[in-house]
């Protein structure tokens, strides 16, 4: 296909997915979708379920897992033998479809002129789907049934007719049935819009031409990925990182990775990873593969986002690993584990391609849930995730207070959270000295202090990086660890599990406090220009004490660099 036609069709197809994203973001009822954009849409292969096109505003982690979700629908339709135009499937199976029970997937087989062309799919994080903990991040779950209600692939629409009994069941199993209804309606409308836009494109350009363009885009992605891998030096590069604990047993869990590069092929071998655990930091194989996809796309940024990315990559995940569990193993905290997988890929590939790879980001979404009843008896559930620093990288310092690299989502604004829930943020600020020291400093984490305005609330936290800080690369230093503080005995305490907490009750006027990690540093801290360190101190990013301790930079009373003293500290004449 000529490159101009291919580029035009690529843009048109991506625009369809982008419009589907925008439709849901603007109509969803819960802030996790409407404000934080924890959702995604795309087009998937009619027979294999492979990713063809995905919107640029949704979560990248969904690119990989939704291919497995669509394949689960394809397999069910084949078994049942009743696929028809106008059908739409719904489910939240985290094992075949990936991620966790909060993420509801809708898959719509798309027919054009009576013939199945592809599948349109929508996934969004619903605010509450039952389970033991409001918001569903249950850090002490030992089976998936304690995390929410489990829905296998079922038909939501049959030949275009909505099954209202299914909707009633979904609403009845949520603490927030109105939110469920609104988010579901938004996803349905997003699929409707996608179907209209795709039908118009096929009518205009022709089914065969668009199909050829999709095949060409996949082939080009695979070829570009092979060429990019071939530019790296052959060899095996290893990394390991740790989860604090699984929320049930207070012992660290290893994510071990060996990356082997040979020509244009790459093997990601996780055989040294810990076995499946009792608590909810397990993930399914599909989720693990998707997190590898996201990590590789961060490194090989020019490769188009479709299934061709993984064609020259083999991923080894042994059965029984915490990266390949089946039902009913708990998987609610999947976000923490996939962030550790991404960090391990970054650290390993930094040894082969330091000019391409940044240090680890803060590595936890700090899923915090506050829940209670208002004075009039209405239930409220505040579930949100919180930001931290990104790693220093070859081109500069890491981003301050960003979202996790699994997504392009945003941190919900405090104005939205305060308007929606009976809380007040007493502090929302950057956390000094939280970024990992390096030639290029890690970005800063944040401080959040949240006051309860209602009579009482239950509090639950599911975090990580409380004991194992985000690592630096290429000689950079690790960032600060995560901290959570809650009121106790007239003062403040940290959770026994460091980063996970259940059973905490707040009274009006009491606060909880999060101090999130920064990103790891890139390159040795002694290689950072002293004037940049001085600027960090002036901005409040780094204290004078840390400038001296970590960067070996001495500042005078006015904050200027003492060149002679600094040279002596750094061992220079």
DSSP 171: H
Whether 371 contacts 505, CB under 8 Å: no
Rounded mean pLDDT, 225-236: 97
**CA–CA dist 288, 432 (Å, integer):** 33
Q: Is residue 534 part of a domain?
A: yes
Longest dimension (CA), the chain: 80
* Burial (CB count within 10 angstroms: exposed 0-12, middle 13-18, buried 19+), residue 491: exposed
pLDDT given at position 254: 98
Whether 461 contacts 475, CB under 8 Å: no
Q: Is residue 409 over pLDDT 80? A: no
Q: Is residue 484 part of a domain?
A: yes
> Do 504 and 544 fall within a single domain?
no
Helix (H, G, I), strand (E, B) or coil at 148: coil
pLDDT given at position 531: 98
- Return the sign of the alpha-carbon dihedral for residues 490, 495, 499, 505: negative
> Do 445 and 541 fall within a single domain?
no
> Do 533 and 521 fall within a single domain?
no
> Do 517 and 533 fall within a single domain?
no
CB atoms within 10 A of CB 420: 15
> Do 95 and 31 fall within a single domain?
yes
pLDDT, one tens digit per residue, over 522-556 is: 999 999 999 999 999 999 999 999 999 999 999 99
Residue 79: pLDDT band with limits 50, 70, 90: very high
pLDDT, one tens digit per residue, over 293-348 is: 999 999 999 998 889 999 999 999 999 999 999 999 999 999 999 999 999 999 99
> Do 155 and 39 fall within a single domain?
yes
Q: Is residue 44 part of a domain?
A: yes
pLDDT given at position 410: 78
Residue 94: pLDDT band with limits 50, 70, 90: very high
Domain of residue 68, residue span:
3-222
* Burial (CB count within 10 angstroms: exposed 0-12, middle 13-18, buried 19+), residue 5: middle
Residue 62: pLDDT band with limits 50, 70, 90: confident
> Do 448 and 555 fall within a single domain?
no
**CA–CA dist 522, 439 (Å, integer):** 6
Q: Is residue 255 part of a domain?
A: no
> Do 404 and 388 fall within a single domain?
yes
Cut 0.85: pTM above it: yes
> Do 205 and 57 fall within a single domain?
yes
Q: Is residue 293 part of a domain?
A: no
**CA–CA dist 43, 193 (Å, integer):** 13
> Do 23 and 110 fall within a single domain?
yes
- The whole-angstrom distance between residue 524's C-alpha and the CA centroid of its chain comes to 29
DSSP 12: H
Q: Is residue 376 part of a domain?
A: yes
pLDDT, one tens digit per residue, over 140-173 is: 999 999 999 999 999 999 999 999 999 999 999 9
pLDDT given at position 490: 83
Q: Is residue 98 over pLDDT 90? A: no
Of 172, 192, 222, the domain-final residue: 222
**CA–CA dist 231, 237 (Å, integer):** 15
Average per-residue pLDDT in the chain?
Answer: 95
pLDDT given at position 61: 83
Q: Is residue 297 part of a domain?
A: no
SS3 for 71-103, per residue?
HHHHHHHHHHCCCCCCCEEEECCCCCCCCCCCE
Residue 412: pLDDT band with limits 50, 70, 90: confident
Q: Is residue 459 part of a domain?
A: yes
> Do 521 and 533 fall within a single domain?
no
pLDDT given at position 118: 98
pLDDT, one tens digit per residue, over 446-455 is: 999 999 999 9
Higher pLDDT, 407 or 558: 558
pLDDT, one tens digit per residue, over 470-527 is: 999 999 999 999 999 999 988 999 999 999 999 899 999 999 999 999 999 999 999 9
In DSSP terms, which residues pair with 380 in a beta bridge? 372
> Do 536 and 518 fall within a single domain?
no
Residue 66: pLDDT band with limits 50, 70, 90: very high
The total number of structural domains that make up the chain: 3
Of 172, 193, 222, the domain-final residue: 222
pLDDT given at position 364: 96
């Amino acid at each position: 296909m000529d490159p101009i036609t291919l580029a035009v069709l690529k843009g048109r197809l991506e625009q369809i997915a982008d419009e589907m994203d925008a439709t849901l973001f603007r109509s969803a009822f819960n802030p996790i979708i409407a404000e934080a954009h924890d959702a995604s849409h795309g087009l998937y292969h009619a027979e294999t379920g492979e990713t063809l096109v995905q919107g640029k505003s949704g979560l990248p982690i969904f690119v990989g897992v939704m291919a497995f979700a669509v394949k689960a629908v394809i397999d069910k339709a084949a078994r049942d033998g009743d696929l028809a135009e106008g059908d739409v499937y719904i489910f939240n199976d985290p094992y075949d479809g990936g991620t966790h029970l909060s993420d509801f997937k809708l898959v719509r087989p798309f027919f054009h002129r009576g013939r199945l062309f592809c599948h349109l799919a929508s996934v969004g994080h619903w605010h509450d789907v039952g389970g033991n903990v409001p918001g569903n991040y249950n850090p002490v779950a030992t089976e998936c049934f304690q995390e929410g209600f489990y829905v296998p692939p079922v038909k939501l629409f049959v030949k275009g007719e909505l099954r209202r009994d299914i909707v009633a069941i979904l609403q009845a199993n949520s603490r927030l049935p109105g939110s469920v209804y609104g988010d579901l309606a938004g996803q349905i409308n997003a699929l409707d819009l996608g179907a209209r836009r795709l039908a118009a494109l096929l009518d205009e350009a022709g089914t065969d031409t668009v199909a050829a363009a999709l095949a060409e885009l996949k082939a080009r992605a695979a070829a570009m990925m092979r060429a990019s891998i071939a530019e790296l030096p052959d060899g095996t590069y290893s990394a390991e990182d740790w989860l604090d604990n699984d929320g049930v047993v207070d012992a660290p869990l290893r994510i071990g990775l060996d990356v082997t590069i040979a020509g244009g092929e790459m093997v990601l071998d996780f055989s040294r990873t810990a076995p499946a655990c009792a608590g909810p930091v397990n993930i399914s194989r599909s989720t693990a593969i998707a997190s590898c996809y996201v990590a590789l796309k961060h490194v090989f940024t020019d490769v188009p986002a479709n299934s061709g990315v993984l064609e020259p990559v083999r991923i080894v995940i042994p059965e029984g690993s915490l990266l390949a569990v089946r039902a009913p193993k708990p998987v609610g905290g999947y976000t923490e584990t996939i962030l550790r997988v991404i960090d391990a890929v970054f650290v390993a590939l930094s040894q082969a391609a330091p000019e391409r790879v940044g240090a680890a980001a803060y590595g936890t979404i700090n899923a915090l849930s506050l829940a209670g009843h208002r004075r009039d008896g209405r239930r409220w559930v505040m579930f949100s995730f919180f930001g931290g620093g990104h790693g220093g990288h070859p081109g500069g310092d890491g981003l301050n207070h960003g979202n996790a690299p699994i997504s392009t989502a945003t941190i919900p604004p405090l104005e939205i959270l305060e308007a929606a829930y009976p809380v007040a943020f007493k502090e929302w600020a950057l956390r000094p000295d939280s970024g990992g020291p390096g030639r290029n400093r890690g970005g800063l984490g944040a401080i959040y202090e949240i006051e309860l305005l209602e009579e009482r609330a239950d509090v639950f936290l599911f975090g990580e990086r409380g004991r194992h800080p985000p690592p630096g690369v290429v000689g950079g230093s690790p960032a600060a660890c995560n901290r959570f503080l809650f009121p106790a005995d007239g003062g403040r305490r940290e959770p026994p599990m460091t980063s996970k907490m259940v059973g905490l009750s707040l009274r009006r006027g009491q606060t909880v406090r999060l101090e999130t990690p920064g990103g790891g540093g890139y390159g040795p801290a002694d290689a950072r220009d002293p004037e940049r360190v001085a600027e960090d101190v002036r901005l409040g990013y780094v204290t004078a004490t840390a400038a001296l301790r970590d960067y070996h930079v001495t500042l005078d009373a006015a904050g200027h660099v003492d060149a002679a003293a600094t040279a002596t500290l750094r061992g220079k004449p």
